[in-house]
Amino acid sequence: MIKLLKYAIFSMSIFIFSISCGGGSSKYEEGVLRLNVGPEPQTIDPTLNSAIDGSMYIIHAFEGLANKDKDGRIVGGVAESWDISDNGTKYVFHIRSNAKWSDGKPVTAYDFVYSWRRATDPKTAANYSYQMEPLKNAKKITAGEMPVDSLGVKALDDNTLEVTLEAPTPYFDQLMAYPVYFPLREDIIEANPDTWTMNPETYIGNGPFKMTERSIDDRIVMEVNTNYWNVSAIVPKKLVFVLMDNGTSVVAGIKEGSIYFSDRVPTQDMDALKEEGYLQIKPYLAVYYYSLNNTNDVLKDVRVRKALSLAIDRNYIVEQVTRGGQIPAAALVPGLISDVNGSFRTNGGDYYSVKAEDYTKNVEEAKKLLAEAGYPDGQGFPVLDFKTNPGEHTSIFEAVQQMWKNNLGIDSTISSEEWAVFQQTRLDKSYVVARNAWVGDYDDPMTFLGMFLSHSAQNVEGYNNPQYDALLAQASSTGDNNVRMPILHKAEDLFMSEMPIIPLYFYTLPVLVNPNLKDVQYDVLGKHKFFYAYLENNKN
């Protein structure tokens, strides 16, 4: 997810100078990787984070019961093994005896109990609390109907964790590698509830790296955690995350060798960067879309929402604006999500045509729908305010803005907000139309469909359909994908028939990489790992 740098052009030049001359010197430092995954993150609390940039810091400082190997397969993390009951609803995890926190204390089953209860506690108000719903009683706990100690997780002893699920969950092992399920230190968090993530002395993790410096709007530095159970496999000695989001600064840093990796790629420079050998394009399980405030008086009308969607030329956007090989989206769930056989997207098909030759028909249908809603040729339609954070999102909307004006007679304005503020604006539903994106958390349609449950904190659109909730509940009641998948297709059918959002395209992931940087563990979920990365031949 793309974020904002707070500085003006003058301070950008100062920043480039500082990373070239200070602790981020372009001179090679053995074992030190200088990276950029965005500006100051909103949070790096595993329970509270819901952004990709925050996850990047978290996965280097913490580890869950399971992990992903270099091929993306689920393997043991903190847990060296686990047992699953015949009916698939009970797991017993056996925690490694040598799993330790970065301060040397042992990781115990009780650390997981605390973390998972914290995530489901309605007082915490975690955006990802719905991700805990496979756990027994989690949904009722987050709704305030049951106490947190009734959650289906129990420490049998220091090294044994028993987990009870509501129903068999085919993707549960994938969740065990997800940040909201990571262990946390109760003693530290309860003593420093609002500040524990801001200080290296209190940001105690159990992953391969430990925070050693936290400089707001400047850098987050992590050094190898010598107490990590698998420390011998970790290659870099230090990770220096440079906090910025300005494309000009990022490109300059990559070219001069003061940054080795960034996922902030200026679209206007992509062709040149590819030719120069700095740009790589990776697969990405993500969808870019516009959130529509479904509680807005005008946008309550599904005909208006559909008209706004059909009037957009998605091919123009991906070919002329983003230019990173993105795929025009005619649905919510991307093609990388698996079905029982093949791809969920291929089997589900498109909900409207994104063929270039059909765009004129789409516009005619959009005009018809808008007229039926009482706004012929846009007459009487209010000016739409579009909220975003700066970057390529503005360029994308400027194209959409012209399409809405030319095709529907609808005027719109652009309001830009700093990244952390913008995230809160969406959560508060203090917008009319807002840019949005979602990166999947695991290979199952629920990672996209579950966002729009009526009680989900990620449902910033205010979409509320009891039938949709019931379909997802039905799909969650069985672990049989032959039963689940047809139900999930029905749920997507219903969702897209009501168009509470406007899907624009399915992502690819352009990244800027120093040609000598090797063995980055790229992830289709966007959570790239630098556990084994190094600079070949000790070059910048």
pLDDT digits (tens, 9 = 90+) for 187-224: 999 999 999 999 999 999 999 999 999 999 999 999 99
Query: Do 153 and 162 form a contact (C-beta atoms < 8 A)?
Result: yes
Residue 540 binned pLDDT confidence (cut-offs 50, 70, 90): low
**Cα(first)–Cα(last) distance of the chain, in Å?**
27
- Asked whether 205 and 102 are in contact (CB, 8 A), the reply is yes
Residues 292-307 as b or e (16 or more Cβ within 10 Å = b): bbbebebbebebbbbb
27 confidence band (pLDDT: 50, 70, 90): low
Rounded to the nearest integer, the mean pLDDT of the chain is 94
pLDDT in tens, 127-158: 899 999 999 999 999 999 999 999 999 999 99
The span from the CA of 164 to the CA of 158, in Å, is 18
Tens of pLDDT, residue by residue over 302-349, are 999 999 999 999 999 999 999 999 999 999 999 999 999 999 999 999
pLDDT score recorded for residue 268 = 86
What are the residue ranges spanned by the domains of the chain? 1-39+208-278+514-540, 65-190, 285-508
Query: Residues of the chain with pLDDT > 70: what percent?
Result: 94
**Minimal CA–CA distance to 489: which of 352, 355, 343?**
343
Strand 412-416 versus strand 384-388 pairing type: parallel
CATH number at 1-39+208-278+514-540? 3.40.190.10
Name the CATH topology of 65-190: Dipeptide-binding Protein; domain 1 (3.90.76)
Please state, in angstroms and as integers, the Cα–Cα distance from residue 429 to each residue in 15, 346, 393, 466, following that order.
Answer: 34, 33, 19, 20
Q: pTM to 2 decimals?
A: 0.86
Give CATH superfamily name and number for 285-508.
Answer: Dipeptide-binding Protein; Domain 3 (3.10.105.10)
For residues 77 and 196, the answer to whether their CB atoms sit within 8 Å is: no
Question: What's the DSSP call for residue 33?
Answer: E
Q: Which residue type does 476 have?
A: S
- Helix, strand, coil shares of the chain as percentages rounded to 5? 35, 20, 45
pLDDT of residue 8 exceeding 80, the answer is no
Identical fold, 1-39+208-278+514-540 and 65-190? no
